Amino acid sequence: MNWLSQNLHIVGALLVDHLVLSIVPIALAILVSVPLGWLAARYRRARTPLLTGTGLLYAIPSLPLFIIVAPLIGVPVRSPVTIVVALTLYGVALLVRGAADAFGSVPRETMLAADAMGHAAWARFWRVELPLAGPVLLSSLRVVVVSTVSLVTVGAVVGASSLGTLFTDGFQRGIEASILTGLVLTVVVAFALDAIVVLAGRLAMPWRRAVAT
């Protein structure tokens, strides 16, 4: 493709921006959601507000969320920080439910046995609850990974650079190759990150081979 070979360095730079804007919110979402999901699974009182709240949050469309988040945290809307914060919120909205289901699926008897063997609460979480919750957690993480990579592109309309910039530039200048390159690369990035997550899951949970989604 002629257009692509002439614009390789631009596309490369946008790809890097895209990866940063995808990976940071995914990582932050995991850090926030795992404890929240655990709370929702263990404390009945925390469950309803957490799951209802995150469910409603997920209903808010992405572009409006970017615009609402920016003045709340005091940065320009096209700043990478806006995109990262908004996408972290989406990731949390999806993952908290998944994490609550995951920790809820750990049998009570297993946790009591862990207690009886003398595990402190902290050790029980790391050695018993988290590994057992792992497979379910992983499958909702995969959804978060794929949808985050796709949502990053929306930031391009407010000027946050990512592979989505190929859509806005291509549309404004009438270059189909630019849009098609962006489409293909975004899907490739989504599937590549998904594959990495699956692989990491297999390495971290060798006892559980293929994880059904």
Partner 1 sequence: MAPGGGDVNLFAEAIAYLLDPASWTGAGSIGLRILEHLAFSGAVLLVAAAIGVPAGVLIGHTGRGRGLVIALTSGARAIPTLGLLTIFGLLLGIGIEAPFLALVVLALPPVLAGAYAGVESVDRLVIGGARAIGMTERQILTGVELPLASPVLIGGLRSAALQVISTATLAAYISDTGLGRLIFAGLKTRDYGVMLAGSLLVALLALVVELLFQAAQSAASRRAEPISTPRTTGRARASERNP
Identity of the residue numbered 118 = G
CB of 137 to partner 1, least distance (A): 18
In this chain, which of 157, 202, 208, 211 binds partner 1, going by CB under 8 A? 157
Provide CB contacts within 8 A for 193, sequence distance 6+.
22, 23, 26, 145, 146, 149
Rounded Cα distance between 182 and 165, Å, is 8
Question: Going residue by residue from 62 to 81, which x/- string records binding to partner 1, judged by CB under 8 A?
Answer: xxxx-xx-xx-xxxxx-x--
Contact (CB, 8 A) for 95 and 37? yes
Q: Does 95 bind partner 1 (CB under 8 A)?
A: no
Candidate segments 26-34, 101-109, 116-124, 152-160, binder of partner 1 by CB under 8 A: 152-160
Which of 150, 146, 154, 145 is CA-nearest to residue 63? 154
Q: Which residues bind partner 1 (CB under 8 A)?
A: 55-56, 59-65, 67-68, 70-71, 73-77, 79, 143, 146-147, 149-151, 153-154, 156-158, 163-164, 167-168, 170-171, 174, 176, 179-180, 182-183, 186-187, 190-191, 213
